[in-house]
Chains A and B, each alone.
Chain A
Amino acid sequence: GNSVTQMEGPVTLSEEAFLTINCTYTATGYPSLFWYVQYPGEGLQLLLKATKADDKGSNKGFEATYRKETTSFHLEKGSVQVSDSAVYFCALIKAAGNKLTFGGGTRVLVKP
């Protein structure tokens, strides 16, 4: 079956540090890949997405590249802010399906 594995948190960083959250997936076919972010007390929001191999999704300074050869979709940001403190979820949907498969989430805490 489909699965998503992401690094466990919490990840604690100082402001302006570089952030990487690793995400790898297992799926048959050609899934679409997503990063969702959940700020404290809120629902999940789509952060970025990529629908085919080598696509790069980007939003709010975050980037992730769909790497089919390594089945990965790592999230990066060059300079984090305190406001980036949240839980980040990697997820996939198979092209022919309608169900999101989520990773376990990674809590990120950015300190001033």
Chain B
Amino acid sequence: DAGVIQSPRHEVTEMGQEVTLRCKPISGHNSLFWYRQTMMRGLELLIYFNNNVPIDDSGMPEDRFSAKMPNASFSTLKIQPSEPRDSAVYFCASSITGTVAYEQYFGPGTRLTVT
């Protein structure tokens, strides 16, 4: 199994630019999660999808952030316009809803730097 795949692994962009992060969950998993990790705030859940439908987006910081899951094998997290305070590592994770322990499998992350 290839695991959760994220791209790009590193992104450096200038303030005001649009940034798109991509995620391919593990085949057969029906839940997908986007997290953000910073030194100051630790791990934060931004949004999660179940069967491609957004279930909880209460962690999305503001309207500049949007996430989509057009099909079971692909999701995007978009920031427009980006700001320096968005610099963080963004993780995607997937799981199978309905299993006993709801294990989540994390991707390697995208390190975003906004200058």
Which residues of A line the B interface, CB within 8 A? 32, 34, 36, 42-46, 49, 51, 89, 93, 98-100, 102, 104-105
Contacts and interface: CB of A to CB of B under 8 A. Distances in A.
Contacts of A42: 108-109
A100 B104 contact: yes
Q: Is the interface of A mostly helix, strand, loop or mixed?
A: strand
Contact of B109 (A32, A43, A46, A93): A43
B101 A105 contact: no
A85 B19 CA distance: 32
Interface residues of B, number: 24
B43 A102 contact: yes
A73 B1 CA distance: 30
Given A98-B50, A102-B43, A43 B91 contact: yes
Nearest to B9: A41
Contact of B97 (A44, A51, A98, A104): A98
Interface of B: 4, 31, 33, 42-43, 45, 48, 50, 55-56, 91, 93, 95, 97, 100-109
Given A32-B101, A43-B108, A93-B101, A98 B91 contact: no
Contacts of B101: 32, 34, 49, 51, 93
B102 A43 contact: no
A46 B101 CA distance: 12
